[in-house]
Amino acid sequence: MKLEENYSLLKHNTFGMDVRARYFVEYQSVSELIELLQSDIIKQHSLLAIGGGSNLLFTKNFDGVVLHSKICFYETTRETDEHVYLRVGSGVVWDDFCAVMASRGLGGAENLSYIPGEVGASAVQNIGAYGVEVADIISRVETVEISTGKIRLFGVSECEYGYRESIFKAALKNHYLVTAVEFRLDKMPQFKLEYGNLSEAVASVEPLTVEEVRKAVIAIRKSKLPEPSEFGNAGSFFKNPLIAATQFNQLREQYPTMPHYVAGNELVKIPAAWLIEQCGWKGKTLGGAAVYEKQPLVLINKDHAKPEHIRLLAAAICESVADKFGITIEPEVNYI
Ligand code: EPU
């Protein structure tokens, strides 16, 4: 186990905020974690579990214990004619998992390639891209309860998955730590290419393999999203808002080109990127923070941004979208 005091979190958040944690602990196994949860240091401080730090904004130093899983393993648990079930440690880097699946020709994770972060956090955040959410391929989530140190397994239906939502972010927030995730992968992949320009990107590829779809997804992501090594960022800063169909119909009279996706239940999803662009935010800066030129849903640390710059910029964007369209957009990124 690794325990550090007054530890810089710079390498542990993709926004590149230079803040410190009072304590930082990494654990390599479930038994190490259970032992750790019984220690005074854990019982006496507030806790924050992080993965790759790719979906959070540290607003100040963290006066508690930051926990980071280094549980890294792959284990095939069972196999049917159609599927392979694979347990993966929560500390495995998400895209390493996607790469291993692609190299084995197992389908399901390819559309989620190149998303920053780690396996444990993927199951908390329900990461999604190109028409796929990680919930679609999860069969079980393995956790340890923080207050008791007891192991608890959640079947996928118990995880209450929704768009960027799970029980681990809502009713059970800060109650359980994910130690491993069991995925169900397809031996005979059925590719989902309807979203965006993915089908175009692979149109001339024959035969189409998991590896090829993965390559196309990576190329699209690289063309739209900034690398944290170039500009600190946390991917989409806001969620795409869901509005009532009645509100959408009124707005469409004024903005006939407003892009939208019917989301069922009389709800319509509007791309926040479009709303933000219409409000004139593309490329705008505030202190060291900026709205990314190629994808305004992404806020970047352009030049030594302070947390406050990002926060003020995000708040100003929300306000102007609300003023212009009467739509509330909410951060997807967690403020700590
Ligand atoms: N758009 C604009 N201007 C732009 C860019 C986009 O108006 O400069 C509009 C267009 O109408 C476009 C639409 O936004 O059709 C959607 O854009 P895109 O397909 O790039 O995706 P997104 O809705 O902006 C979501 C996820 C991304 C994920 C992509 C691809 C959320 C909050 N974001 O973005 O996830 O990669 O779809 O599936 O749902 C992340 O969560 O960090 C993330 C990057």
CATH of the domain at 82: 3.30.465.10
The rounded Å distance from CA 297 to ligand 1 centre is 7
Residue 121, H or E segment: helix 119-125
Q: What pLDDT sits at residue 239?
A: 96
Q: What pLDDT sits at residue 232?
A: 97
- Is residue 194 domain-shared with residue 293, that is, in the same domain? no
Q: What band does 302 get if pLDDT is binned at 50, 70 and 90?
A: very high
- Is residue 309 domain-shared with residue 290, that is, in the same domain? yes
| Whole-number CA gyration radius for the chain | 20
What one-letter code names the amino acid at 110? E
Q: What pLDDT sits at residue 227?
A: 94
Q: What pLDDT sits at residue 17?
A: 96
* CB-CB contact of 211 with 218 (8 Å): no
Residue 248 is assigned to a structural domain of this protein: no
CATH of the domain at 46: 3.30.43.10
Tell me the average pLDDT of the chain: 97
- Measured from the Cα of 129, ligand 1's closest atom is 38
Residue 322 is assigned to a structural domain of this protein: yes
Residue 154 is assigned to a structural domain of this protein: yes
Nearest to 164 by CA among 242, 90, 248, 277: 242
Please state, as a whole number, how many other Cβ atoms lie within 10 Å of the Cβ of residue 285: 14
The rounded Å distance from CA 126 to ligand 1 centre is 16
Residue 257 is assigned to a structural domain of this protein: no
Residue 151 is assigned to a structural domain of this protein: yes
- Is residue 52 domain-shared with residue 91, that is, in the same domain? no
- Is residue 54 domain-shared with residue 93, that is, in the same domain? no
Main-chain phi, psi angles of 245, to 5 degrees: -60, -35
Name every protein residue with a CB atom under 6 angstroms from any ligand 1 atom. Answer: 129-130, 195-196, 224-225, 235-236, 239-240, 259, 271, 273-274, 277, 295-297, 332
Q: How far apart are CA 234 and CA 14, in angstroms?
A: 6
Site to probe by mutation for ligand 1, drawn from 236, 261, 299, 334 as the one with most ligand atoms within 8 Å of Cβ, is 236
Residue nearest to atom 36 of ligand 1 (CA): 129
Average pLDDT of span 245-264: 95
- Is residue 118 domain-shared with residue 236, that is, in the same domain? no
Q: What percent of the chain has pLDDT over 90?
A: 97
Q: How far apart are CA 21 and CA 16, in angstroms?
A: 14
Average pLDDT of span 188-199: 93
Q: What pLDDT sits at residue 196?
A: 78
- Is residue 176 domain-shared with residue 158, that is, in the same domain? yes
197 pLDDT higher than 90: no
Q: Tell me the three state secondary structure of residue 17.
A: coil
Q: What pLDDT sits at residue 332?
A: 94
Residue 265 is assigned to a structural domain of this protein: no
1 pLDDT higher than 90: no
Q: What band does 265 get if pLDDT is binned at 50, 70 and 90?
A: confident
The rounded Å distance from CA 311 to ligand 1 centre is 21
Number of domains present in the structure of the chain = 3
Residue nearest to atom 28 of ligand 1 (CA): 129
Q: What pLDDT sits at residue 2?
A: 84
- Is residue 187 domain-shared with residue 98, that is, in the same domain? yes
Main-chain phi, psi angles of 326, to 5 degrees: 70, 25
191 pLDDT higher than 90: yes
- 69, 103, 128 — which closes off a domain? 69
CA dihedral (143, 123, 29, 17) in degrees, to 10, reads -120
Q: How far apart are CA 232 and CA 310, in angstroms?
A: 11
**2-to-28, 35, 63 alpha-carbon distances in Å:** 9, 13, 18
Site to probe by mutation for ligand 1, drawn from 274, 281, 334 as the one with most ligand atoms within 8 Å of Cβ, is 274
- 69, 96, 121 — which closes off a domain? 69
Tokens of 94: 């998400």
- Measured from the Cα of 221, ligand 1's closest atom is 36
Q: What pLDDT sits at residue 108?
A: 98
The pairing of strands 176-186 and 83-89 is antiparallel
CA 111 to chain centroid? 14
- Is residue 133 domain-shared with residue 9, that is, in the same domain? no
CATH of the domain at 237: 3.90.78.10
Average pLDDT of span 81-108: 98
Over the stretch 276-295, which tens digit does the pLDDT of each residue have?
Answer: 999 999 999 999 999 999 99
The rounded Å distance from CA 279 to ligand 1 centre is 16
Site to probe by mutation for ligand 1, drawn from 110, 225, 255, 297 as the one with most ligand atoms within 8 Å of Cβ, is 297
Residue 256 is assigned to a structural domain of this protein: no
Q: How far apart are CA 165 and CA 55, in angstroms?
A: 13
The rounded Å distance from CA 239 to ligand 1 centre is 9
Residue 113 is assigned to a structural domain of this protein: yes
Over the stretch 160-181, which tens digit does the pLDDT of each residue have?
Answer: 999 999 999 999 999 999 999 9
Average pLDDT of span 176-203: 95
Residue nearest to atom 23 of ligand 1 (CA): 271
The rounded Å distance from CA 187 to ligand 1 centre is 29
- Measured from the Cα of 282, ligand 1's closest atom is 8
- Measured from the Cα of 127, ligand 1's closest atom is 41
Over the stretch 18-46, which tens digit does the pLDDT of each residue have?
Answer: 999 999 999 999 999 999 999 999 999 99
- Is residue 139 domain-shared with residue 174, that is, in the same domain? yes
Q: How far apart are CA 276 and CA 278, in angstroms?
A: 5
Q: How far apart are CA 233 and CA 50, in angstroms?
A: 16
Over the stretch 323-336, which tens digit does the pLDDT of each residue have?
Answer: 999 999 999 999 99
- Is residue 108 domain-shared with residue 190, that is, in the same domain? yes
Query: How many residues are recorded in the chain?
Result: 336
Provide the residue range defining the domain that includes 13: 2-69
- Is residue 206 domain-shared with residue 236, that is, in the same domain? no
The rounded Å distance from CA 298 to ligand 1 centre is 9
Q: What pLDDT sits at residue 264?
A: 82
- Measured from the Cα of 294, ligand 1's closest atom is 8
What residues are annotated to the active site?
164, 236, 332
Residue nearest to atom 24 of ligand 1 (CA): 273
- Is residue 80 domain-shared with residue 213, that is, in the same domain? yes
